[in-house]
Amino acid sequence: MKQKISKELGREALTALLQTRSPLGPLKVMAKHVGRFFQIPLPGFRPYVVHGHEAARKVLVTDRDKLLWRNTDPVTDLLQRGILITDGEEHDHYRSLMETPFHPSQLTHYTEMMIRQTEHVASAWKDGETVDMLVESRKIALLIIMQTLFSRDARNDIPQIWKPILKSIEYISPGAWILWRKIPRFGFRQPLRELDDYLFGIIEERRKGKEEIKKGDFLGHLIDAGLSDRIIRDQMVTMLIAGHDTSTALLAWVFAMLGQHPDVHKKLVEEVDALEKSPLLDQVIKESLRLYPPIHIGNRRVAEKIEFAEGKIPAGERMFYSIYLTHRDPEIWENAEQFCPERFAHGRKTPPMSYIPFGGGPRACIGAAFGQAEARVVLAHLLKHFTFEFTGHPIHPHMGATLEPRPGVRMRVARRAVEGGTLRLRSGQEWKVESHQ
């Protein structure tokens, strides 16, 4: 397929870039005018973009052997031999080692920890204070991943690891390195080393048996499998980033959506108060994932020529499958641009692979069940025990390592009335809570 980008299309794409302050704008313009298969015409970087449920099936299932996950980019530099970016037998070996800690049967063990860490972060909020739910969600998601996967209660570690984590995320976020791979990147070496030292420290403590041993946790599985410290570090950093940055974005987007749709927010709080399991909460999470999938694009290198209905991509090229565009396909989704949680109320009616927030096929997200359970637990807990009042500022999606609501989601928070100063969880556990009023 020879694709000619007319001057008008170029101009429209540029206008969209300026208006939306994000490459998502031009991607939408290309999808509208060129279709489900196009090449991004940047100097020195001309990746192909495909989208739609048929392309997703090819990329994720039928033709996935023609594609490589491993690339030459900062993600690979950071994760090294992490499961997310290895191929073939090596990938399958890591994946088989990790299935048990992520098995849905494990999720109930994690619920208590998820609530505890959520409550820890929320207990620092003062009544009437305005907090940024992007930042607060990150704290919650970080503490949860550290405790559930590495049995590490990281509350006191946050000041030490906060900057290294943010720098790691910045390191892998799109930037000038896309056009100039070897561009000097300053200010990363030290924080990335600090993160490594922190993770190697956890591995060492566990090997020495200093840390309380939780045989069945993720770290325990990797150690028992006889992996080297280096490979374990690669899997830990992968899980730390892939497992918390995505949940951070999801939680923050849900707050953004609730802030912008007060009717849904009100109904949701009523339902969460009244029911053990709120169907609307599930729908809100699903719809947020549809409109703002934290991983909005899948990145591949083409190992063998791959053919789509609309064109071919030769071996050696870079290819993206766009989850964002697939989720907004107007031929599939009615009022595709609208936030409408009820569309998920009566089961899914769209074709397979048209809704892929967790990817699909054999390499679908290993944390899909975990991530959704976490979102349900954290949100139900917060909505039940706090009020959230959106301050009404503009929000736009930012393409970082994940798709994030920027400049954050500022909300006024206050703890809802608690009987006799004691917060009682469904599990029977109790917390004494201080009122900051």
**Residue 247 interacts with ligand HEM (CB under 6 A)?**
yes
CB of 145 to ligand HEM, least distance (A): 6
> Contact region for ligand HEM (CB under 6 A) — 35-43, 222-230, 359-367, 425-433?
359-367
Nearer to ligand HEM, 259 or 367 (CB): 367
Question: Measuring CA to CA, how many Å separate 115 from each of 9, 138, 207, 273, 436?
Answer: 49, 15, 28, 16, 20
Q: Does residue 298 belong to the site contacting ligand HEM (CB under 6 A)?
A: yes
Contact with ligand HEM (CB under 6 A): which of 294, 341, 397, 405? 294
3-state secondary structure of 48: strand
C-alpha distances in angstroms, 269 versus 193, 203, 277, 383, 386?
A: 43, 41, 12, 6, 10
| Chain position whose Cβ is nearest to ligand HEM | 367
Query: Is-contact 356 326, C-beta < 8 A?
Result: yes
List 250, 258, 313, 373, residue binding ligand HEM (CB under 6 A): 250
- Supply the minimum distance, in Å, between the C-beta of residue 246 and ligand HEM: 3
Q: Which two tokens stand for residue 393?
A: 């500022």
Q: Which is nearer to ligand HEM, 191 or 371 (CB)?
A: 371
User: Is 199 a binder of ligand HEM (CB under 6 A)?
Assistant: no
User: CA angle, corner 184, sides to 180 and 187, nearest 5?
Assistant: 135
| Nearest partner of 245 among 295, 299, 187, judged by Cα | 295
Whether the Cβ atoms of residue 395 and residue 256 lie closer than 8 Å to each other: yes
248 is a site residue for ligand HEM (CB under 6 A) = no
The sign of the torsion formed by the CA atoms of 68, 70, 74, 79 equals positive
The amino acid at 146: M
Rule CB under 6 A: is residue 405 a binding residue for ligand HEM? no
Region near ligand HEM per CB under 6 A, out of 30-38, 156-164, 209-217, 352-360: 352-360
Site for ligand HEM contains 324 (CB under 6 A): no
367 binds ligand HEM (CB under 6 A): yes
CB of 423: closest distance to ligand HEM in angstroms? 26
25: three-class secondary structure by DSSP:
helix
Q: Is residue 84 a contact point for ligand HEM (CB under 6 A)? A: yes
Min dist CB 2 to ligand HEM, Å, is: 28
Look at the block and give the residue holding tokens 């892939």.
242
| 60 secondary structure, DSSP code | I
Query: Which tokens go with 109?
Result: 């063990």
In which element (H, E) is residue 410 found? Answer: strand 410-415
Strand 422-424 and strand 396-399: the pairing is: unpaired
Which of residues 29 and 154 has its CB atom nearest to ligand HEM in the complex?
154
User: What minimum distance in Å lies between the beta carbon of 336 and ligand HEM?
Assistant: 19
Counting Cα atoms < 13 Å in the Cβ hemisphere of 101 gives 22
Instruction: Indicate the residue among 118 and 246 with the shorter CB distance to ligand HEM.
Output: 246
Considering only residues 47, 191, 341, 359, which one is a binding residue for ligand HEM as defined by CB under 6 A? 359
Distance from C-alpha of 373 to C-alpha of 287, rounded to nearest angstrom: 15
When binding is defined by CB under 6 A, the residue of 165, 199, 365, 382 that contacts ligand HEM is 365
Distance CA 217, CA 202 (A): 13
Residue with Cβ nearer ligand HEM (60 or 423): 60
Interface with ligand HEM (CB under 6 A), residue total 24
Question: Alpha-carbon torsion 37, 41, 46, 47, what sign?
Answer: negative
Length of the chain equals: 437
What is the x/- site pattern for ligand HEM, positions 159-198, by CB under 6 A? ----------------------------------------
The residue ranges that bind ligand HEM (CB under 6 A) are 83-84, 95, 145, 238-239, 242-243, 246-247, 250, 293-295, 298, 357-359, 363, 365-367, 370-371
